[in-house]
């Protein structure tokens, strides 16, 4: 059913609701990896993610009767906005069931397109079960976020655009939650060029597709734990699984800590906000064991709430040694704090926070603890500051940073 003709049809249809997301060549990531890295910025779509492609194409294939019944889906956020936006375009009602953990920005934007939002369950799978229940109860037409061949065909329009811009592309990295995007992209890529390599990327804490491929059948994880909420799926799609088995060349898994650092890289070097699921393909670049290849990383979305963004930035700075906390013991007498501050100032360290604890020792005249949270340029600068403190007679100890 996933034919070249259907992909061509979908690629034309989605132009009605999508922006042209031109490939961006990344000097920074190319230099870091030794490949020619291009970014496909689907975070720039109207709804902040690629999901509107599959939702709109799927709805276009429904009969008037099916649409008039009202639409329902379950989603951690991006498919929700895609269905809500597409339903608005067609002038039909949409109900979206979202996990209670969904970022507020995704909930509010889904509502802004006129959809009714029902918050239920902690993860997508629980929300999906509720959506099926409501569909049965009220007669709604269900639009599955990934386990639907028409939806996957719509998502595959991304690959059509990549090939038109970069016909000689050799590797495409695609995020995987339930597998709809990976199905569409890998199937069309192989139809256009069987030699191309399509690599799926999953969060290590929600690698349901990797587990399924290893088992040779669709497998349900006992639980998922990842900051990449858009790909926090326990069970991949049954209908699309055979296409993944046939067309996906490999899967890379990425730890959450790598996503935190990738977020910082994208903000600082490309001035782009990418949500954690969209960062999977950026973090995976360093795991790709090839050189001098033309690689496209699909940035699947950019819907991240400000509180999460703030937390990720802070953690990224800590992971990169741009912020760190050091503990030193000093005599409780005038001038000691000034000496420490002078040492740090001479090394161009910037003090963010000081904590002075007089009760760390019974003998206060012998020692009080000073915890200093500092801003540095990176690992080498951090080491330089630590050495300067040691040289001036202190015994600095790195401790956990709490901002």
Cβ atoms 262, 269 nearer than 8 A: no
Pairwise CA distance, residues 40 & 159, whole Å: 10
For 12, half-sphere exposure in the C-beta direction (CA atoms, 13 angstrom radius) is 5
Buried b / exposed e over 134-149, threshold 16 CB at 10 Å, is bbeeeebbebbbbbbb
Residue 49 DSSP class: B
- 111: tokens are 């509502």
Cα angle: 161, vertex 166, 168; to 5 degrees: 130
Give catalytic status of residue 361 as yes or no.
no
**Which of the following is catalytic: 6, 13, 40, 51?**
51
Cβ atoms 174, 297 nearer than 8 A: no
**Which of the following is catalytic: 11, 186, 212, 300?**
300
The DSSP bridge partners found for residue 173 are 199, 297
Pairwise CA distance, residues 133 & 24, whole Å: 42
Give catalytic status of residue 300 as yes or no.
yes
How far CA 89 is from CA of 57, 113, 133, in Å, comes to 12, 9, 26
The DSSP bridge partners found for residue 98 are 119
| Secondary structure of residue 323 in the 3-state scheme | strand
**DSSP codes, 159-199:** HHHHHHH-TT--EEEEE-SSSHHHHHHHHHHHHH-TT-EEE
Pairwise CA distance, residues 295 & 189, whole Å: 13
- 239: tokens are 């209908």
Cβ atoms 139, 68 nearer than 8 A: no
Active site members: 51, 300
């Amino acid at each position: 059913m996933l034919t070249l003709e259907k992909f061509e049809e979908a690629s034309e249809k989605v132009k009605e609701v999508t922006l042209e997301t031109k490939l961006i060549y990344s000097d920074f990531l190319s230099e870091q990896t030794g490949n020619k890295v291009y970014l496909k910025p689907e975070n720039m779509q109207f709804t902040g993610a690629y999901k509107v492609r599959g939702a709109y194409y799927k709805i276009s294939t429904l009969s008037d009767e099916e649409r008039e019944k009202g639409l329902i889906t379950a989603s951690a956020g991006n498919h929700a906005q895609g269905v809500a936006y597409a339903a608005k375009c067609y002038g039909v009602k949409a109900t979206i069931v979202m996990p209670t953990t969904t970022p507020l920005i995704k909930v509010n934007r889904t509502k802004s397109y006129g959809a009714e939002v029902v918050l239920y369950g902690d993860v997508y799978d629980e929300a999906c079960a509720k959506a099926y229940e409501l569909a049965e109860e009220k007669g709604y037409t269900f639009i599955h976020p990934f386990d639907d061949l028409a939806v996957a065909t719509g998502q595959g329009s991304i690959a059509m655009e990549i090939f038109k811009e970069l016909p000689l592309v050799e590797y495409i990295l695609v995020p995987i939650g339930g597998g709809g995007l990976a199905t569409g992209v890998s199937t069309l890529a192989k139809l256009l060029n069987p030699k191309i390599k399509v690599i799926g990327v999953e969060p290590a804490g929600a690698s349901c597709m990797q587990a399924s491929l290893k088992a040779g059948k669709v497998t349900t994880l006992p639980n998922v734990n990842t900051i990449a909420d858009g790909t926090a799926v326990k069970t991949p799609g049954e209908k699309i699984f055979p296409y993944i088995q046939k067309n996906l060349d490999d899967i890379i898994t990425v730890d959450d800590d790598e996503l935190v650092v990738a977020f910082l890289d994208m903000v600082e070097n490309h001035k782009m906000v990418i949500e954690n699921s969209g960062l999977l393909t950026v973090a995976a670049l360093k795991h790709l064991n090839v050189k001098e290849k033309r690689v496209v990383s699909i940035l699947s979305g950019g819907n991240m709430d400000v509180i999460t963004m703030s937390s990720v930035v802070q953690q990224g700075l800590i992971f990169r040694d741009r912020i760190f906390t050091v503990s030193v013991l000093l005599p409780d007498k005038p001038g000691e704090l000034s000496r420490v501050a002078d040492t740090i100032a001479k090394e161009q360290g910037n003090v963010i926070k000081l904590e002075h604890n007089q009760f760390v020792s019974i003998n206060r005249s012998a020692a009080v603890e000073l915890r200093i949270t500092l801003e540095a340029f990176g690992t080498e600068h951090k080491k330089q500051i630590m050495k300067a403190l040691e040289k001036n007679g202190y015994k600095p100890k790195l401790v956990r940073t709490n901002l």
